[in-house]
Amino acid sequence: MNLKSLLLAGGALLSGTAASAGGYQVTLAGQKNNGMGGVGVGLSLDQAAMFYNPGALAMVKDRGVQVGVNLTLARNAFVAEGSNQQRELRNSYTTPLNFYAGFGPAEGKFRAGIAVYTPFGSKLQYANGWEGRTSLTDIDLKSVFVQPTVSYAITDQLSVGAGLVVLAYGAVNLQRDIALPDSYGHVELDGKADTKFGFNAGIFFKPSDKLSLGINYRSKIDAVVKDGDVTFSGIPASFSSRFQATKFNATLPLIATTSVGLGIMPNEKLTIGFDASLAQWSKYRVLRFDFDQQVNGSTVSESKRAYQDALTFRLGGQYKLTEGLTVRAGGAYDQTPVQDGFVTPETPDNDRISGTVGASYSFGKFGVDLSAQYVGIQKRTQTQNELINNATTDRIAGTYKTNIVIPGIGLNYAF
């Protein structure tokens, strides 16, 4: 597979399934990191440092270009409360992409670069006629961030960096069925997000050859959809006067994340990383849609989310087996931001446990990175009583279980 065909494949769908980090956040930004449980804040592995910790970019030895693509294969099972019938997704996949190019003088203290990655996304297509059809039948969230980055090594041990994060592309497509007294209609909400800006900044400290530390902050960006399209279908004439909206506005918070990371290099061959992140999901209180005309008696639809801030812990390492071959392994524990009684079909979430493996082979300046992740989203049951107690009966009671497998491949070229 050459670079060109890889780009073509990746360009087909710039999106990601919620692979890691809870909610609809995706952390598949670097192929080496992907093989190591997603660690990276306290390391300076490669150009993907622009995402994990821009402060570490100045400490990355090589300048170069790298591209990575992942294939997310999510498999879900759902059984409604009281039922014995298992529902499975109409299986789909997404291919989150990442691209980095880093430049700078060979021996200088400056590094600059550009990063393209997809930190948020989700795609789920539920079974036809499933019990939660009036909450959701299909969701496809996509986001592409572009991040010009600079990094500067203040001393040999300390470097800082920052990037301007541009929400260059954001798209939302939500579909659900509408319950009518004697039939179902369908509504599709489809919109593009406005271009928005945020930042990604970090500090990297490497007191010795054996130890490095990092801290990183990625700011919140509100994905604002204005004048998205509302399309109704299957609404009989007797009800059509109640479903007149054609446009909608909505805002989805792409939340801030603060991370600290630790790198330990006991010898030249072995690198171990540990990251802890706090995702500020508590900003996600409600999902609100404003319509230009009424939808079943109201121009507003509000659905409670009440997410909570969530922690993620990652541990991973790599070992350089031969001059060319490096192998990796890691794992992560990822707390869910979703409280009991608030689970929705768009993110059938729970705590996640993932295991990863990876390997790289380098042929001088050119290298290939492979990674594979297995994410187990723990079984989650919410009862109708929990929904009633939280006034969240717009969603469905039952048990969800989701597993995700994500193979990925990356190519890199060092100048």
Partner 1 sequence: MNTFLFRKFTPLAALLGLGITACQPDLEDDFKPNKGSADFSRYIAVGNSLTAGFSDGGLYLEGQVNSYPNILATQFRTAGGGEFNQPLFTEAQRNGSGYLSLTGFTSAGTPTTANVTTNLAVRSLNPTLYTRYEGRVDNLGVPGIRLSDIHTAGYGSTQGNAYFERITPATTATQTYFQRVKAEAATATFFSNWLGNNDILGYATTGGVGGIITRTDTFTLKNNRIVNVLTTNGAKGIVATIPDVTNIPFFTTVRVADIRARFKAANPALDVYIQTTGTAGAQVVRLATDADLLTLPSSAVIGTATTGSPFPVGAGVGTGVGQSNPVPNQFVLDATEQTNVRTATTAFNTAITNKANEKGLAIFDSNAFFARVATSGITTNGVTNTASFISGNLFSLDGVHPTPRGYAVIANEMIRAINSKYNASVPTVNPNDYRGVRFPQ
Beta carbons of 64 and 414 less than 8 angstroms apart: yes
Q: Is 85 in the site for partner 1 (CB under 8 A)?
A: yes
Burial of residue 12 (number of CB atoms within 10 Å: 0-12, 13-18, 19+):
exposed
Q: Which stretch binds partner 1 (CB under 8 A): 147-155, 187-195, 249-257, 369-377?
A: 369-377
Q: Which stretch binds partner 1 (CB under 8 A): 213-221, 246-254, 255-263, 372-380?
A: 372-380
Q: Is 75 in the site for partner 1 (CB under 8 A)?
A: yes
Q: Is 95 in the site for partner 1 (CB under 8 A)?
A: no
Alpha carbon of 205 to those of 47, 57, 92, 201: distances in Å?
17, 12, 42, 14
> What x-and-dash track marks residues 307-336 binding partner 1 by CB under 8 A?
------------------x-----------
Among residues 225, 2, 14, the alpha carbon closest in space to that of 117 is found at 14
Q: Is 401 in the site for partner 1 (CB under 8 A)?
A: yes
Q: Is 357 in the site for partner 1 (CB under 8 A)?
A: yes
Q: How many CB atoms lie within 10 A of CB 48?
A: 30
Beta carbons of 55 and 161 less than 8 angstroms apart: yes
**Least separation in angstroms between CB 240 and partner 1:** 12
Q: Which stretch binds partner 1 (CB under 8 A): 59-67, 98-106, 151-159, 181-189?
A: 181-189
**Least separation in angstroms between CB 149 and partner 1:** 31
**Least separation in angstroms between CB 286 and partner 1:** 17
Q: Which stretch binds partner 1 (CB under 8 A): 9-17, 101-109, 153-161, 381-389?
A: 381-389
Contact with partner 1 (CB under 8 A) among 172, 372, 411, 414: 372
Q: Is 3 helix (H, G, I), strand (E, B) or coil?
A: helix
Contact with partner 1 (CB under 8 A) among 199, 217, 333, 374: 374
Q: Is 338 in the site for partner 1 (CB under 8 A)?
A: no
Beta carbons of 162 and 121 less than 8 angstroms apart: no
**Least separation in angstroms between CB 117 and partner 1:** 23
Structure tokens given for 390? 């939280």
Among residues 132, 121, 173, 71, the alpha carbon closest in space to that of 345 is found at 132
| Residue position matching structure tokens 């007294």 | 181
Structure tokens given for 205? 């400290």
> What x-and-dash track marks residues 108-147 binding partner 1 by CB under 8 A?
-----------------------xxxxx------------
Alpha carbon of 366 to those of 100, 113, 120: distances in Å?
15, 19, 29
State phi, psi for 96 to the nearest 5 degrees.
-60, 140
Contact with partner 1 (CB under 8 A) among 11, 83, 240, 389: 83
**Interactions with partner 1, residue window 213-272 (CB under 8 A):** 236, 238-239
d(Cα 395, Cα 152) in Å, to the nearest integer?
49
d(Cα 32, Cα 35) in Å, to the nearest integer?
5
Q: Is 396 in the site for partner 1 (CB under 8 A)?
A: yes
Question: In terms of DSSP bridges, do strands 196-208 and 211-218 run parallel, antiparallel, or are they unpaired?
Answer: antiparallel
Residues in touch with partner 1 (CB under 8 A): 1, 73, 75-86, 88, 131-135, 179-183, 236, 238-239, 325, 357, 359, 361, 368, 370, 372, 374, 379, 384, 387-388, 393-397, 399, 401-405, 407
